[in-house]
Structure 1
Amino acid sequence: MLHETIEFKEWQSIFWKPKSYDNNQVCYSSIEPEDNKILLVNQGTLLVQISNQQGEKISTEILVKGDIINVEALLESPPTWEIPDFIQYQVTALGSVEVYEIEKEFLLSHLYVDPRKYHRLFEKIIVQLVNISFSNVISNKKSQTKIAWALYRIAVKVGQTNQKDTNLISLPRFVTQAFLSQISNTGKARTNEVIKEFYQIGIIVQRENKTIDSDKLIAYIKQDVLLDYSLDNLANK
């Protein structure tokens, strides 16, 4: 990881430092950006939240160890690109969290000298942005598709694999029906209907313990989502 390199360990006390947050504490807000610092998750789980039309905070993304909280701060000239008011966001701790505050100029100087050392950082950022983009692509699709993709994202980020059957993944307690509704941008009533449907076809194995069958979930997503972007379908459009 980025903070495990020799260079970062040598300069820890000067250019970067750990900062702890408690449950439900706001770790970052785009309304008050820290353009001179890069915030990297070292431990714990965080939620990216935006305000809906009613002014309520809803969760739209999960961040875990290795994720950068304020990706936009990596831009060299932040003043030329501002986040519109309607997509301002905040990042909130879900339990105990530790975040590294890294001086931006220090980070960029190391990236310029030898970017190969930080390929894992780049991969993390790319995957993070691809997931967000793909979520936007399927945002107008049917509820089953959106919820299936949300379950997949949650499972990859914070799911716990069963030791006896690695195909089974348990989701943490905070993944409630309301949370899944927010992440998938689906109504609560409709989310409940889809959960029942997924239980009937075996994608959700245990509703109480929130256990899913990863193979069936991935197969469903491939069939229902990726089929739209196959070469044959694109050629016919």
Structure 2
Amino acid sequence: MVIFQEMNDFQKWYSIFWKTKYYKNNQICYNSAKPKDNKILLIKQGILSVQTTNRQGEKTNSEILVAGDIVNIEALKEARGEWDIPGLIQYQVVALGLVEIYEIEKEFLLSHLYVDPRQYHQFFERTIIQLINVSFSYAISNKRPQDKIAWTLFRIAEKVGEQHKKDRNLIILPSFVTQTFVSEMSNTGKSRATEAYRALLKNGVLIQRHGHKMIDFKRLLNYLKQEVLSDYSISKATNQADESFFKKG
């Protein structure tokens, strides 16, 4: 995504319609209980965690946001009605390290995007992908713990993983990606998450070496294709539709 600050036309309106805000590790960057409907919070740099509250009243990690993601994605919604994010779910966004966020007047941002169709497309494509990732996580919420953990590891690797210098198939995970973090993000109980971790270590998807947690990306993809994504493939859906049709006949 093009960094808006590099656009001359965008730069000259600094402090009037947009500004850069800085946050330290563990600092709350946004809370849905205090929405900013007229502003879009776009991440320039850093990693953040979206935290929700579980039944015990504890904060749990549910999503990772990185540069280019929108912190308050519900602010893009124009019409206000019964379907209202703050009324449905409360969440907060916390910095995992140093973070920079663009706080942009909503109408100003959208008007600039309309001028450049390419940026408009990139912006909303990124937003759609962000929503699809979360939606699919809910779609597989009834899957086996091992499957949910595998999908969560894929999402984490894609967003914040670092390729190993000698073997680019190996993805090094950041230190904050603990078993508890993955358990929370996949909505899996701790005991079941431990079992899933052991299984993924056994089949070589997860690797622990020299104090680093790594993922064998090819093995992870193969696992997801066979155990998770196959249920949502077009061919699978077509076969199910055919079976349903013949049963009716």
Shorter chain as denominator, the TM-score bin is over 0.9
2:169 counterpart of 1:142: no
Displacement of 1:78: 4.1
Amino acid aligned to 1:221: L
> Which residue of structure 2 aligns with residue 38 of structure 1?
40
Amino acid aligned to 2:11: K
Secondary structure of 2:181 counterpart = helix
Closer/same/farther in 2, CA of residues 78 and 163 from structure 1, 3 Å limit: farther
> Which residue of structure 1 aligns with residue 94 of structure 2?
92
Taking the aligned partners of 2:39 and 2:24, their CA distance within structure 1 comes to 21
1:1-237 aligned within 5 A:
1-3=2-4, 4-78=6-80, 81-83=83-85, 85-206=87-208, 208-237=211-240
Taking the aligned partners of 1:140 and 1:182, their CA distance within structure 2 comes to 15
- Taking structure 1 as the reference length, what is the TM-score of the superposition? 0.94
Kindly provide the CA deviation profile for residues 7-66 of structure 1, in whole angstroms up to 9, marking residues without a partner as x.
Answer: 322322321110011111111111110011100111111000110011100010000111
Residues matched between the structures, number: 237
Amino acid aligned to 1:83: I
Secondary structure of 1:14 counterpart = coil
Taking the aligned partners of 2:166 and 2:101, their CA distance within structure 1 comes to 33
- Taking structure 2 as the reference length, what is the TM-score of the superposition? 0.90
Taking the aligned partners of 1:99 and 1:231, their CA distance within structure 2 comes to 38
Secondary structure of 2:85 counterpart = coil
Kindly provide the CA deviation profile for residues 184-233 of structure 1, in whole angstroms up to 9, marking residues without a partner as x.
Answer: 11111111111111111110122641111000001100111111123443
User: Which of structures 1 and 2 has the bigger CA Rg?
Assistant: 2
Kindly provide the CA deviation profile for residues 84-107 of structure 1, in whole angstroms up to 9, marking residues without a partner as x.
Answer: 545211111111111110011101
Closer/same/farther in 2, CA of residues 38 and 80 from structure 1, 3 Å limit: farther
Taking the aligned partners of 1:12 and 1:158, their CA distance within structure 2 comes to 29
Aligned Cα root-mean-square deviation (Å): 1.6
Taking the aligned partners of 1:191 and 1:39, their CA distance within structure 2 comes to 33
Stretches of structure 1 that go unaligned for 5 or more consecutive residues are none
Identity of aligned residues (%): 58
Secondary structure of 1:130 counterpart = helix
Stretches of structure 2 that go unaligned for 5 or more consecutive residues are 241-249
Taking the aligned partners of 1:231 and 1:26, their CA distance within structure 2 comes to 41
Closer/same/farther in 2, CA of residues 77 and 112 from structure 1, 3 Å limit: farther
Secondary structure of 2:98 counterpart = strand
> Which residue of structure 1 aligns with residue 244 of structure 2?
none
Taking the aligned partners of 1:230 and 1:86, their CA distance within structure 2 comes to 31
